[in-house]
Structure 1
Amino acid sequence: MTSFFGSVFWLLVTLGVLVTFHEFGHYWVARRCGVKVLRFSVGFGKAVWKRIGRDGCEYQIAAIPLGGYVKMLDAREGVVPPQLQAQEFTAQPVWKRILIVLAGPGFNLIFTVAALWLMFMLGRPDAAPIVTAKPQSMAAVAGVQPGDRILSIDGRAVATWSDSLDAVANALLDRTPLPLTVRDPDGTQRQLLLPLDRLPPDQPIDRYLTTLGLELAPPRPVAATVLAGKPAALAGMQGGDRILSIDGKPVPDYEAVGKLVRQDAAVSPKLAIVVERNGRTIPLEVVARYESLQGQPAEWVIGISAPPLEAATLRYGPLRALHEALAGTWRNVTQTFGMIGKMLTGEASTKNLSSVIGIAQTANDMAHMGLAWFLQFLAMVSLSLAVLNLLPIPVLDGGHLLYYLIELVKGSPLSEQAMAIGQYIGLVLLFSLMGLVFYNDIHRLLLS
């Protein structure tokens, strides 16, 4: 329940910030173009708060927070007094109307750059791209070995696990062979090729990732801390000891420690554990306990904790951060339009789309990971809103933009009947898209 309310809260924060910025773009440019703005609304439906500004504009927050709008003086919606004719929207030259329509998505792109710039300067804490591959997976067959550090993907250097995962996820949509440069723990660099062209078409990205089998490597098998009074401490284990074997079975990583303790202790709680300390091999006899720790379900434990993963903070100075923010925004814009194109042609699955349910869950997760992560999340959602609104679908900004471009070509506005038909088509397309993304999220929730 706490997760539910957290998701709702951070969804409202996300939509409140991004919708306000989007609508402010329309408002600000409309005012600069001499158009009278009657209402600036964050949300739809009945107003829960409103006031009239000195400029006569009504500012309000409405009850349904899934969007917003800017209502301008428009002759199509009622009689316009003669003294206000010059401030009426449809009386403006077509180039001004185009600027007003483009301002919303444009301000979303500005917000994206600003949020990424601030994120890069604050520094986004992350893990180093030290990976492993599931046995028999595509990554394992391609040559990825436990402890490999990814240096570059398709020629672009990567410094963190998240950037590596993003680059791989985007490449999975193309399903073309992906070159990797990795360095093993001994310092030897190798060139690998992931044969993504062998993946079947029209699959969700999470299924592709499962088939690929590329994962963040678990921590080393080291007892970072040994809890006083617990079995490991009583047997003489010390913090920093490297666990070599449990009951004669080798321990390649910390994940194997827990697995072997649970497996062997279920047969006999008395475990023969060999550790390495200061270059010496030390055998220990540890008697595991079946107990619950910190409210978790009871299991066999010996009272040690894992070492942290190698950290890799992504941080730049102001100028480099601005360059990276601009480059990242452009890269994500092209990738988003590319993904839309692939969905239209059937090369990418529409199961990758998410609704406000998915956005709410991700917003809650990112907020708990820290300000830098939440800023990156806001940037990506803002960019998605910009791209979505630029699609040539009537009722969206892109649909209005299409009308005005047609007007530029033919020299006169479209008829009201043509625009009305376009609005109906747009509503059908929009509600179909909304139904699809809600279905995707509900389906994911039922399967999780």
Structure 2
Amino acid sequence: MNSLWSFIVAILVLVTIHEWGHYWVAKKCGVDIEKFSIGFGKPLFTWKNKEGTEFCLAMIPLGGYVKMRGEYAITTAEEQAAQPKGSFAACNVWQRMAIVVAGPLVNLLFAFLIFTVFSYGTQHVIAPVAQAPVTQTLAAPLGIQTGDVITEINQKPVVSWNDVNVAVSRSVFNQTAIDLTWRGVDGVVHQGTLNTAGISIEDPAWLDAIGLYPEETQPRLGRVMPHSVAEAAGLQDGDEVTHIDGVAIYGATALREAITQNPNKYIALTVNRNGKSLNIDVKPAAVETKVKANGTEEVKTIGRIGVAISGFNSIQIHQGMLTALEKGVKATWDSTVMTFQGMFKMLTGQLSLKNIGGPVSIAQMAGESSTAGWVTFVGFLAMLSVSLGALNLLPIPMLDGGHLVYYVIEVFTGKPVSEKILAVGQRVGLTFLLCLMGIAFYNDALKLFG
């Protein structure tokens, strides 16, 4: 149920701002709007403003549309001249270009604002202090020791471990080498290179294969979820776990394993709370989840108590508005580029089509992110907004990008594209979208019943 409501909220927010982009620019260009609909199918709620525009919330929350006055398709200058004032087709080509591109751009602007807000101010982040890589990982031969500080990655300075994660994931995605610079605990600066060839971003264990992780410290509980097993047991935010069943532990991994490997079994936790040692028994709830091992996917029962776990060194950083704006622009640009690259890799067979997800996949991700807290959920909205904006900018008929291509052609030829080209484009675009939807729904069905 949480996934369903999270999905509805995500779609309502992103579709609304997308269609509002079209609506706002169209109004600025003098176009009369007949209908602004969020969702398709039977209307659940409608109202009209003083200008006669009908606003509608429909039953199927899988998109939306803005219905403007007049015909969209015009093939001659005479037809354009005959269009009534206030119609979309009566606009000049630059106005029509602005109207169709406004939706995707607003999605990207929305993501930019979120990335900027998240970057501004004082934050507690994981320090770029490394844990010694385990043997047989890509990073093991470099000789990185626990406590060494990563200072540069791919010739760019590192401030927090998030910088390491972003750079490493991008290198693996692009199959490029990872250049590392780190300062040892003895103060000596070292350099090394990791060759990512052969490591696939689609492999759930790709990060384990590389072996770069931040240094672990005593595990500390983050946010305890309301109505969770942890809350019922009496655990609180900030509790530091020192022992499990009387055995001293160190590192978040040990605590996570103890929880996941003991579904429906009591474990005794010793926690340090404000300098006092407390013994708390907790019984992890049994949860079924899909795991991938040796190339095969299977359902496994694991334990969950509903709490975030932190076990890393943290530092406090402060970023002013100019730095935040710069990071917002960079994050939006990088996310957009990676989205287009991902689409290209799937079309060329470099990535599996299984990465295309439909409503079920989005709902699952929305539910997981909302469970992790509102910050994670808003971050998920930003990434999904980038995907929505990028998808609509693809030069495919029936998408905003396809209409934009028509208008670019019109700019160079001095006349609208022919009716024949429009008809062919409609068929091509419809075929592409139906295939895309078919793959997405098939992948969703496999997740539900496969």
* Fold conserved between structures, TM > 0.5: yes
Aligned to 1:150: 150
Tell me the alpha carbon deviations over residues 407-440 of structure 1, each in whole angstroms, 9 at most, x when there is no partner.
Answer: 2233322233432322222122123223334444
Deviation at residue 175 of structure 1 after TM alignment: 0.9
Alignment partner, residue 95 of structure 1: 94
When normalised by structure 2's length, the TM-score is 0.73
- Distance 1:328-1:27 versus aligned 2 partners, 3 A rule: same
Q: Percent identity?
A: 37
Shift of 1:128: 3.0
Residue 42 in structure 1 maps to residue 6 in structure 2: no
Classify the secondary structure of the residue corresponding to 1:219: strand
Match of 1:375 in 2: 378
Look up the match of 1:192. 192
Q: Which residue of structure 1 lines up, in the alignment, with residue 166 of structure 2?
A: 166
Q: Could you give the per-residue CA deviations for residues 75-107 of structure 1, whole angstroms, max 9, x where no partner exists?
A: 369xx9x99801111122111111100110111
Q: TM-score, normalised by structure 1?
A: 0.74
Q: Distance in 2 between matches of 1:444 and 1:241?
A: 35
Question: CA, structure 1 residues 351+146, in 2 after alignment: closer, same or farther (shift >3 Å)?
Answer: farther
Describe the SS at the equivalent of 1:394. Answer: coil
Q: Relative to 1, partners in 2 of residues 1:155 and 1:218: Cα closer, same or farther, differing over 3 Å?
A: same
Bigger fraction of residues in strand: 2
Select 1:400's aligned residue among 400, 403, 406.
403
Matches of 2:392 and 2:126 in 1, distance apart?
34
* Alignment partner, residue 31 of structure 1: 27
1:345 aligns with 2:348: yes
User: Structure 1 pair 425/258, CA: closer, same or farther in 2 (3 Å)?
Assistant: closer
Shift of 1:445: 6.7
> Are the structure 2 counterparts of residues 429 and 205 from structure 1 closer, same or farther at C-alpha, using a change threshold of 3 Å?
farther
Is 1:107 paired with 2:106?
A: yes
Q: Distance in 2 between matches of 1:396 and 1:181?
A: 44
Q: What secondary structure sits across from 1:47 in the alignment?
A: strand
Shift of 1:292: 6.1
Letter of the aligned partner of 1:293 in structure 2? V
Out of 430, 436, 439, the residue aligned to residue 439 of structure 2 is 436
User: Could you say what secondary structure the match of 2:319 adopts?
Assistant: coil
Q: One-letter code of the match for 2:29?
A: C
Give 1:124 deviation, angstroms: 5.8
Which of 66, 73, 79 is matched with 2:62 structurally? 66
C-alpha displacement at 1:147, in angstroms? 4.3
**1:21-44 CA distance string (max 9 Å, x none):** 111110000011111110111111
Contact residue 31 and residue 37 of structure 1 kept, 8 A: yes
Partner of 2:117: 118
Counterparts of 1:310-329 in structure 2 under 5 Å?
Answer: 310-312=313-315, 315-329=318-332
- Amino acid in the other structure paired with 1:25: G
Q: CA deviation at 1:45?
A: 1.2
Q: Residues 153 and 164 of structure 2 are in contact (CA less than 8 Å); yes or no, is this contact kept in structure 1?
A: yes
- 2:415 corresponds to 1:412: yes
Gaps of 5+ in 1: 223-238, 264-288, 298-305
* Structure 1 counterpart of 2:217: 219
> d(CA) in 2 for partners of 1:83 and 1:341?
41
- Provide the residue aligned with 2:390 in structure 1: 387
CA distance in 2, matches of 1:57, 1:326: 35
Which range is displaced more, 38-47 or 118-127? 118-127
Contact 2:70 2:84 in 1 (8 A): no
Given the superposition, is the C-alpha separation of residues 314 and 112 from structure 1 closer, same or farther in structure 2, using an over 3 Å criterion? farther
Kindly provide the amino acid, as one letter, of the partner of residue 127 in structure 1. I
In the alignment, residue 64 of structure 1 is paired with which amino acid? Answer: I
1:175 aligns with 2:175: yes
For the residue of structure 1 that corresponds to 2:398, the secondary structure is: coil
Q: Which residue matches 2:429?
A: 426
Q: CA deviation at 1:316?
A: 2.3
User: In the alignment, is the contact (CA less than 8 A) between 1:116 and 1:375 conserved in 2?
Assistant: no
Greater Rg over alpha carbons, structure:
1
- Is the partner of 1:159 in helix, strand or coil? coil
Contact 1:124 1:373 in 2 (8 A): no
1:355 aligned onto 2:358 = yes
The alignment partner of 1:65 has SS state of: strand
CA 1:28/1:347 → structure 2, altered by over 3 Å: closer, same or farther? same
**Helix, strand or coil at the partner of 2:314:** coil
In structure 2, relative to structure 1, the CA distance for the partners of 1:398 and 1:312 (3 Å cut) is farther
Q: 1:94 to 1:122 in 2, by over 3 A?
A: same
Report matched runs for 1:224-373 at 5 Å: 255=253, 293-295=282-284, 308-312=311-315, 315-373=318-376
AA aligned opposite 1:422: G
Match of 1:225 in 2: none
Give the equivalent residue in structure 2 for 1:208.
206
Q: AA paired with 1:400?
A: H
Partner amino acid, structure 2, of 1:182: W
CA distance in 2, matches of 1:399, 1:22: 16
AA matched with 1:410:
T
Q: Aligned residue for 1:16?
A: 12
Shift of 1:61: 0.8
> 2 CA distance for matches of 1:314 and 1:436?
43
Quote the Cα distance in structure 2 between the aligned partners of 1:183 and 1:158: 12
Contact between 1:355 and 1:441, CA under 8 Å: does it hold in 2? yes
**Distance in 1 between residues matched to 2:365 and 2:171, nearest whole Å:** 22
Q: Is the 8 A contact 1:150 1:158 kept in 2?
A: yes
Gapped regions of structure 2 (runs ≥ 5): 74-78, 221-238, 262-278, 287-308
Give the C-alpha shift of residue 254 in structure 1.
6.5
CA contact (8 A) 1:26 1:103 kept: yes
Tell whether 2:60 aligns with 1:57: no
**Residue 273 of structure 2 aligns with which residue?**
none
Distance 1:361 1:219, change over 3 A: farther
Count of paired positions: 386
**What SS is found at the alignment partner of 1:432?**
helix
Which deviates the most, 98-107 or 123-132? 123-132
CA distance in 2, matches of 1:403, 1:240: 61
